[in-house]
Structure 1
Amino acid sequence: MSLFGASTGFGAGGFGAATTDTHNPMKDVEVTSPPDDSISCLAFSPPAMPGNFLIGGSWANDVRCWEVQDNGQTVPKAQQMHTGPVLDVCWSEDGSKVFTASCDKTAKMWDLNSNQAIQIAQHDAPIRTVHWIKAPNYNCIMTGSWDKTLKHRCIAIFKDKQNKPAGFALGSIEGRVAIHYINPPNPAKDNFTFKCHRSNGTNTATPQDIYAVNAISFHPVHGTLATVGSDGRFSFWDKDARTKLKTSEQLDQPITACSFNNNGNIFAYASSYDWSKGHEYYNPQKKNYIFLRNATEELKPRNKK
């Protein structure tokens, strides 16, 4: 699920390096030193933090931090470990801390300044999500677990967000995305679903293979959105015009996670096995990748007629 609500020199020479590899048909920038197992989540640093930093969690039990430089190059900065796969990550509002959720049934708070991590949550089953929550009279961290519970914890280090979300998008394993607004004037008209990540396109009577939507991310400036799927493609959408802006070429692995940086000029996406076909299709020889794309123009909404 994803909530919605000045240009730089990035990409002025880092993007578009020639390649014939099927793992990178879009010729995007590869992040150095990716995880050794499937990448489950990506998150860029918040606006309060100078520069761009990318956090990624993986099934190798680790969470990694890279600095993304203006020329598109990446520098590994730090790494922390869980005792089980890391399924989700999020940032504190000031960018000083990262929160991680793991199959080891714990959530941790990682202080990037000291490079120390402490446990802040415990569940009876793997923790699938971790989120910063802003309510009218309090701020907290929420964890969601496969033990069928949500837990909220007060973390007193945050500043208020500038904007309240207007709604959310929810993806499914059935190749669909639902757009829901919070308190819309006309729910039957304003809320809608659309098809995506299918073979032979979405507007055909031909039998289709349907793929899971693995992640959704909203552009922080334009309000358009990106979806990534088990079909190995990413797509950009204009929810207001209810139209597709772009679909990528097909990668040779599923795309498992995606994220925009705080001003929307960098789109990060991860290519790795998503376990949708079970362990018998897992190839340990396959390398995992994180790519960076300058998608500023591609995410601009369609002109209204």
Structure 2
Amino acid sequence: MVFGRGNLTRAADKDVVLPNGPEDSISALRWSPLANRLAAASWDGKIYIYDTTNTTSTETVKGVAAITVGSPVLDCDFSKDGAIVAGAAADKKIHLMDLNTSQTVALEAHTSPVRAVRFVQVPSANAPIIASGSWDKTVRYWDMRQPQPIGALQLPERVYSMDASGPLLAAATADNHLHLVDLHGNPLQLFKSVKSPLTHQTSSISVCADGSRWAIGGIDGRSAAQVVHEKDKSLDNLQFKCHREPHPTKKNHTDVYAVNAVAYSPAHKDVLATAGSDCTYSVWDVRRRHRIRSFPKAAAPITALAFSPDGMALAYAVGYDWAKGYQHNTAAAERKIVLHQFAEALKK
């Protein structure tokens, strides 16, 4: 289906470019749940942390720290108290920094690159738990006080994307399946595995704040949103076209772009943002099935995005998306992180 179109962003909204940005493509953006801090994972081998308390201009945003990993960082996350940042890296490790002490530690995590990392809520555990998803076909759980994983979940294929919130962990794998885990039940067992509703490879996944829904984006310019429990028919297996546009010269021909990121708003589970290789991002109301906002094109693909905890800001990253291989990733390519601040709440 095609959603109804909304208006372009209003003039009262505001964009601020964050200072001293990464030197290579940004793979992930994550907000601290308790503070005005934003983490950015980059292919330049670093994780950047910003203080966004004062966002009146680029000059007022402060860089808090930069964690040097030394190999491409594919994902990042904050602990629930905002004190620790974790990064998933191509060197097969999870890299951690305590922002209060600046101490760093690396966990020898997997036998292949770590694609995703999340701090998760496991009520049966007596400590904060980290979940990591890897190309070695496992999701592993970590107590930061121990050097070895406290548990592992075997999957049929490589983890291409993973997210978690509330009781739900959701992982998209290379065989185009989605695997759901009940973290409040048995974190070491899948409670559901389904074939992706998208025909082509899943490129991104997001779980809403209460863990009742998940949404995915695909390489074919489509997204889908579904509820976890079948008795809730509110989305009714929603699928929609998003990052596509008519070809400028070929009649009846459509250019299709990958959906590089999807993100639910923590403030409202009906609000979903998508970002694509067409250099655009949009915000959607998945229940009412229409586009809330669309935005002008950036100078390069949007590679990552994330809503602030209150839903009043959306951070997005502009940069090379690797679609044409490493040889096209030049030093001259524009790379930046932008904070888009909404003038009013997207949902009332």
Q: TM-score normalised to the size of structure 1?
A: 0.81
Are 1:264 and 1:296, in contact at CA under 8 Å, matched by a contact in 2?
Answer: no
Q: Which amino acid aligns with 1:272?
A: G
Are 1:93 and 1:161, in contact at CA under 8 Å, matched by a contact in 2?
Answer: no
Q: Which amino acid aligns with 2:50?
A: W
Following TM superposition, by how much is the alpha carbon of 1:250 offset from its aligned partner in structure 2, in angstroms?
1.1
- Alignment of 1:69 onto 2:53: yes
Q: TM-score normalised to the size of structure 2?
A: 0.72
The aligned residue for residue 222 of structure 1 is: 268
Distance change >3 Å, CA 71–CA 123, structure 1 → 2:
closer
Q: Which amino acid aligns with 2:31?
A: F
The aligned residue for residue 7 of structure 1 is: none
In 1, Cα distance between equivalents of 2:232 and 2:83: 40
Alignment deviations for residues 170-197 of structure 1 (CA, whole Å, 9 cap, x no partner) = 1111111111211131569622211110
Following TM superposition, by how much is the alpha carbon of 1:222 offset from its aligned partner in structure 2, in angstroms?
2.5
In 1, Cα distance between equivalents of 2:325 and 2:105: 33
The aligned residue for residue 306 of structure 2 is: 259
In 2, Cα distance between equivalents of 1:77 and 1:186: 42
What SS does the corresponding residue of 2:33 show, helix, strand or coil? coil
What SS does the corresponding residue of 2:245 show, helix, strand or coil? coil
In 2, Cα distance between equivalents of 1:250 and 1:264: 22
Are 1:102 and 1:126, in contact at CA under 8 Å, matched by a contact in 2?
Answer: yes
Following TM superposition, by how much is the alpha carbon of 1:200 offset from its aligned partner in structure 2, in angstroms?
2.8
The aligned residue for residue 100 of structure 2 is: 113
- What does residue range 20-39 of structure 1 map to in structure 2 within 5 Å? 28-39=15-26
Gaps of 5+ in 1: 1-13, 17-27
- Alignment of 1:147 onto 2:136: yes
What SS does the corresponding residue of 1:185 show, helix, strand or coil? coil
Q: Which amino acid aligns with 2:25?
A: S
Are 1:269 and 1:291, in contact at CA under 8 Å, matched by a contact in 2?
Answer: yes
> How many pairs are equivalent?
269
Following TM superposition, by how much is the alpha carbon of 1:155 offset from its aligned partner in structure 2, in angstroms?
4.5
Alignment deviations for residues 11-64 of structure 1 (CA, whole Å, 9 cap, x no partner) = xxx965xxxxxxxxxxx21100000111111111113x3xx1111110100001
The aligned residue for residue 287 of structure 1 is: 334
Distance change >3 Å, CA 270–CA 45, structure 1 → 2:
same
In 1, Cα distance between equivalents of 2:261 and 2:343: 19
Following TM superposition, by how much is the alpha carbon of 1:137 offset from its aligned partner in structure 2, in angstroms?
2.5
Following TM superposition, by how much is the alpha carbon of 1:133 offset from its aligned partner in structure 2, in angstroms?
2.2
In 2, Cα distance between equivalents of 1:200 and 1:121: 47
Q: Which amino acid aligns with 1:206?
A: N
- Alignment of 1:237 onto 2:284: yes
Following TM superposition, by how much is the alpha carbon of 1:164 offset from its aligned partner in structure 2, in angstroms?
3.2
The aligned residue for residue 222 of structure 2 is: 176
- Alignment of 1:165 onto 2:165: no
Structure 1 runs of 4+ aligned residues shifted over 3 Å read 70-73, 160-164, 186-189
Gaps of 5+ in 2: 1-11, 146-164, 168-208
In 2, Cα distance between equivalents of 1:189 and 1:240: 6
In 1, Cα distance between equivalents of 2:106 and 2:118: 15
In 2, Cα distance between equivalents of 1:127 and 1:70: 33
The aligned residue for residue 177 of structure 2 is: none
Following TM superposition, by how much is the alpha carbon of 1:281 offset from its aligned partner in structure 2, in angstroms?
2.2
In 1, Cα distance between equivalents of 2:334 and 2:223: 29
**Bigger RCO of structures 1 and 2 (CA < 8 A, at least 6 apart):** 1
Are 1:15 and 1:29, in contact at CA under 8 Å, matched by a contact in 2?
Answer: no
